[in-house]
Structure 1
């Protein structure tokens, strides 16, 4: 009787999940069978050193039967992550959509640059609410920059988690929570210090 999963019944997404999580050394025959099937479906290709590699459209991407909404995604700060596994018990790495990765990267760069600008010139315009903003001066800008760096770190952690396929998203979640907490506390402290040193309200 044949043992192991029946990869012929897997969807493309499930095949990629299995490919990325299978232990090739522990299950060499299962790995070879999986790779040969995926090669016949043009999901992977065999390189010169006889290793199998996902085609670009399958590596962290979406395919015809792979709806991005079906991918495990991170829920930073709000919800603790729940590890997900395929029907054979293989861990499915969580994914961060490409658009979110790009937005996170750009936003982190922009706000750090803006905060650094404020520290350099000694004043920083800070939106508080829809119709409320303040300008802080001196030491308050340095504290606000710390808050900005913490917020940026939270976004960067999310990106790093996307590329780390190990079952350790809880670690990233904890770091993100700590970073976010530092950001909130620093933001409040910056506002308090700002008002004590002559902040202007708009």
Structure 2
């Protein structure tokens, strides 16, 4: 059985209330929306908020960033993500600035990374690896903006792409520091 397959129109009030207390809205958003609509149609008012704690933990509870769950309105229609215009603009500007700074550092063969106690200058292969990390950060920020403009139900695909590109970026970052250490001590 898939999410959204249950027909709640034939349920009685006590059955609907019991289902409302037990349903996991994050795992079954369409069934939850259908259940709320059936309750409102039968009783004539919004259903009461759930007062029973979840009987089982959510599957993504122990991850650092849980995958997104699609949102649906009370009629079961998909609601796309919305990112405010100011946030979108700042993400695009920051990503372009980061990529430009990294490109300039590679072009001059001196990519400076500031730190609390001076910072480091990356040259040659370590600068190129850091540019790869900057490019991945650029792509991660653009994936967030692209998700806003895409009206289809595919947040999970954008989340996966962001995780893969982010992991690649962190790998490039670590590789850059390893190359810098290797270059510094083997000259």
Rg larger in 1 or in 2?
2
**What is the correspondence of 1:68-87 to structure 2 with a 5 Å cutoff?**
78-87=65-74
Structure 2 unaligned segments of length 5 or more: list them.
Answer: 1-63
Contact 1:136 1:198 in 2 (8 A): no
Please state whether the residue corresponding to 1:197 is helix, strand or coil.
helix
> Structure 2 CA distance, aligned partners of 1:198 and 1:110?
28
CA contact (8 A) 1:137 1:198 kept: no
Of 79, 82, 102 in structure 2, the residue corresponding to residue 115 of structure 1 is 102
Separation in 1, partners of 2:65, 2:93: 22
Q: Deviations over 1:67-114 (max 9, x none)?
A: xxxxxxxxxx83311111000000000111111111110011111111
1:165-184 correspondence runs (5 A): 165-184=151-170
Partner of 1:134: 120
Q: Report the TM-score when normalising by structure 1.
A: 0.57
Say which of 84, 89, 98 aligns to 2:76. Answer: 89
Q: What SS is found at the alignment partner of 2:160?
A: helix
Q: Deviations over 1:48-78 (max 9, x none)?
A: xxxxxxxxxxxxxxxxxxxxxxxxxxxxx83
Paired with 1:108 and 1:97, the residues of 2 have a C-alpha distance of: 17
Q: Which has the higher helix share?
A: 2
User: Which segments of structure 1 move beyond 6 Å, counting only runs of 4 or more?
Assistant: none
Q: What is aligned with 1:125?
A: 112
Instruction: Measure how far apart 1:132 and its partner are.
Output: 5.6
Aligned residue pairs total: 122
Q: So what's the TM-score if we normalise by structure 2? A: 0.62
More strand by share: 1
